[in-house]
Structure 1
């Protein structure tokens, strides 16, 4: 498993939520490591076992390390988010831990996952559906071209933090996730992709179809 090969004592591991992340935590062997596991955000949704806080706790339990719980809710307005950061010192303490994270493990939610598991304000849900949301990762909701349609402001890790994290593992599989993976990559969320043949074939099919539609790269010189 890629995570086991990377992780070392004293590492700080940040992990997202979702069905695949919960499954990954369950698959980990029982170890005795001195690591800290952080949820990349508090999360929300209809399945408690898929929330980042719970995934982080389960992963830490498997690795033998410590876990940290985020109490600040997701989806705050930018103004309120930055006001909280200024007034609550514990947020800055938590963010200091995030700044030292050496490994980020995140999944990708497809449009269907968003519809099934994400609890967003009804007006946001309607807008995202109208604008053809393709996927979500790290609090960014994007369309197939990678355009950001909506962003959640929360304590944790965002796309802007990626360059400072040495190891990024992105997990998603199945042909139904091909478009979601491609969309997230186009939005600037890059790392080592852990996927399967179905998703890989779908990505190649989408890219090949776009090249055929545009006539490929032409030299207009």
Structure 2
């Protein structure tokens, strides 16, 4: 199949271009339907004229339908998209890319999803679906799952299939960050537990706090109970942050943000900030999972989307070897451009 595609690219490269363009249109319609042509053109970054022509062709093929509310995918279009996924993977050379990035990171494994979440938000859903396919077969060997917060982990939970693992306990890996309750670890832990028909415990505390307050709070029996479960998790599902973005989410002062830039902070996980060599250059007093406990976790599932996260992933030297990374094509190609 790969040899055939390479020959096709050489003799008729325009066919590949048309294929990728129409696939991208179908994918965007799937996730944003009903969608108008102007909005669709913005999503796929093409002129309205080109989009109009392509939509007309796809409609004539029975893959799209157009109503006064916008464009929809037909059942036939839905079925075709599913069948095309492997072909798209081959056309983009993602298996070769996956293996090269896996070798660069020295990771346990790598899953690469087509696209770049920085330019196509629907890719986050694809990441969520792909992560679910990684996680599901492992659950028979899991008793406790810890989850962090954030949009990417939310996509994992939102797109996870309903199943029955009644003995599994789901806990938040850390306290809450920011005002968006739907993306916080507590909310996602409860939601995932319901998807699994399992149990959950919550940690009703902010992610960061003053050292003295922290010492008082962690002595409480109910907090100790949850922290014990967090630190004995068999699986950790976590997002990966850009250091400066995460500092802003935590409402750091401008002075503190400048200090992080000065010390070269690039990546962030669990309140630890790393430079490009993987050194911890700053850490917050966080309630939840501790870096030293991670080596005991059987399954580490790191999920990230958007090329701008590449440097953050590269900075995670201490955990890369034990992590299954579910990333998008944008991250993978940027890692290759940096380290290849």
TM-score class, shorter-chain normalisation, is: 0.7 to 0.9
Structure whose residues are more often helix by fraction:
2
8 Å CA contact 1:46–1:118 kept in 2: the answer is no
- 1:127: how far off? 2.4
Is structure 2 residue 178 aligned with structure 1 residue 48?
no
Q: Which residue of 2 aligns with 1:189?
A: 319
Q: Which 10-residue stretch deviates more, 16-25 or 60-69?
A: 60-69
Distance between the aligned counterparts of 1:81 and 1:172, measured in 2?
A: 29
Q: CA RMSD in A?
A: 2.2
Deviations 1:73-119 (A, max 9, x none): 2222344423433x312222122212331111111012464266333
Distance between the aligned counterparts of 2:311 and 2:176, measured in 1?
A: 23
Is structure 2 residue 270 aligned with structure 1 residue 138?
yes
Unpaired runs of at least 5, structure 2:
1-132
Alignment of 1:7-18 (within 5 A): 7-8=139-140, 11-18=143-150
- 1:64: how far off? 1.5
Aligned length: 205
TM-score, normalised to structure 2's length? 0.55
Name the CA shift for 1:112/1:122 in 2 (closer, same or farther; >3 Å).
Answer: closer
The equivalent position to 1:93 in structure 2, one of 225, 236, 244, is 225
TM-score, normalised to structure 1's length? 0.82
8 Å CA contact 2:148–2:172 kept in 1: the answer is yes
Unpaired runs of at least 5, structure 1:
209-221
8 Å CA contact 2:239–2:303 kept in 1: the answer is yes
Q: Which 10-residue stretch deviates more, 153-162 or 129-138?
A: 129-138
Deviations 1:20-73 (A, max 9, x none): 000110000111221111111112114222111111121112121122110232
Deviations 1:166-203 (A, max 9, x none): 111111133221111111x22x1331112133212211
- 1:2: how far off? 0.8
Runs of 4+ in 1 over 4 A off after TM superposition: none
Distance between the aligned counterparts of 1:175 and 1:123, measured in 2?
A: 27
User: Secondary structure, in 3 states, of the residue corresponding to 2:140?
Assistant: coil
Name the CA shift for 1:123/1:80 in 2 (closer, same or farther; >3 Å).
Answer: farther
Largest Rg, 1 or 2: 2
User: Secondary structure, in 3 states, of the residue corresponding to 1:7?
Assistant: helix
